[in-house]
Amino acid sequence: MLTDQEGKKMFYPHVSVDCVLLGIDNEELCVLLVERKNAGTGKTEYKLPGSLIYEAEDLDVAAYRVLADTVGLKRVALKQFRAFGSPARTSNKEDVLWLERASNMEIDRIVTVAYLALCKVRKARPDKKYGAVQWTPVSKLPGLPFDHREIIGEAIKEIRKWTEVEPSIIFNYLPALFTALQLRRTYEIIYNKEFDVRNFHKKMNALPFIVPTDDLEKGVAHRSARYYRFDKVKYNQLRSKLNKT
């Protein structure tokens, strides 16, 4: 039997993790992609941050290792949302060749467990030992290896469900003080649709954990908007009451 130390040094060739980091840049929903070199042509391509897991490694630990190693993120709310196990995942020989060279292992069929996070764009910084990363609009994805395009599509569906069940992740993404417009535009970009301004403000003002402040925008040509803040204590109290009903 392998010791933990020995196991951590050996990849398990049948299970991987892939991380979908979604963020908003230039008014578009974007996904973080990392650079890889095509095994056959040497051409630069992009993929989701991911890795085979180590023999003695927990899945969650592997996902956080990927984020820490590739983009320097250590504190982010990751959610495991789905496994992808189609035999066709490894049907592209170039993808398999690239992974075999990267892992020094023979690769056959791989099941990947996908993780999701909503991330501030400026927080992701590549580690020097890895290639470049880029935020790419989900509407303008390049050719991607394996089934990464499908994984991204499912992640977008999942983030919409997640924000309905756990809206606090939206406020973790926003600045400490935000305007009603910033909040509404964040929802509109994630859901890819427009919300009625009046109805949105009415619903927002009915939520006790969205607290108006005395601070107003400064240096703007239009009428200064009020800033709001997210009250985590009130949010948790409300959730606690709902869970008891």
DSSP string, 17-82: EEEEEEEEETTEEEEEEEEEE-TTT--EEEE-SEEEEETT--HHHHHHHHHHHHH---S---EEEE
**Are residues 175 and 213 located together in one domain of the fold?**
yes
Segment 196-211 shows an average pLDDT of 95
pLDDT given for residue 120 in this prediction:
82
Does this model's pTM top 0.75? My answer is yes
pLDDT given for residue 215 in this prediction:
95
| Domains in the chain, number | 2
Q: How many residues does the chain have?
A: 245
Domain containing residue 84: CATH number: 3.90.79.10
**pLDDT tens digit string along 82-134?**
999 999 999 999 999 999 988 888 998 999 999 999 888 766 655 545 558 88
Distance CA 215, CA 224 (A): 10
**Are residues 16 and 94 located together in one domain of the fold?**
yes
Element (H, E) at 164: helix 148-165
Segment 167-186 shows an average pLDDT of 93
**Are residues 30 and 149 located together in one domain of the fold?**
yes
pLDDT given for residue 123 in this prediction:
61
**71 vs 116, more confident:** 116
**Are residues 24 and 76 located together in one domain of the fold?**
yes
* % of the chain with per-residue pLDDT over 70: 89
pLDDT class of 73 with cuts at 50, 70, 90: confident
Segment 56-79 shows an average pLDDT of 88
pLDDT given for residue 242 in this prediction:
62
Q: Whose CA is closest to 125, among 176, 175, 74, 169?
A: 74
pLDDT given for residue 146 in this prediction:
95
Domain containing residue 192: CATH number: 1.10.10.10
Q: Please say which residue of 129, 164, 199 terminates a domain.
A: 164
**Is the pLDDT score of 4 beyond 60?**
no
**Are residues 51 and 124 located together in one domain of the fold?**
yes
**Is the pLDDT score of 3 beyond 50?**
no
**pLDDT tens digit string along 84-96?**
999 999 999 999 9
**Is the pLDDT score of 63 beyond 80?**
yes
**Are 109 and 13 a contacting pair, CB within 8 Å?**
no
**Are residues 86 and 172 located together in one domain of the fold?**
no
**Are residues 9 and 79 located together in one domain of the fold?**
yes
Q: Please say which residue of 164, 195, 216 terminates a domain.
A: 164
**Are residues 133 and 193 located together in one domain of the fold?**
no
**Are residues 120 and 137 located together in one domain of the fold?**
yes
Segment 211-216 shows an average pLDDT of 96
Structure tokens at 204: 């927002």
**pLDDT tens digit string along 19-58?**
999 999 889 999 999 988 876 677 888 999 999 999 999 9
Q: Please say which residue of 164, 188, 221 terminates a domain.
A: 164
Mean pLDDT of the residues in the chain: 88
Domain that holds residue 195: 168-244
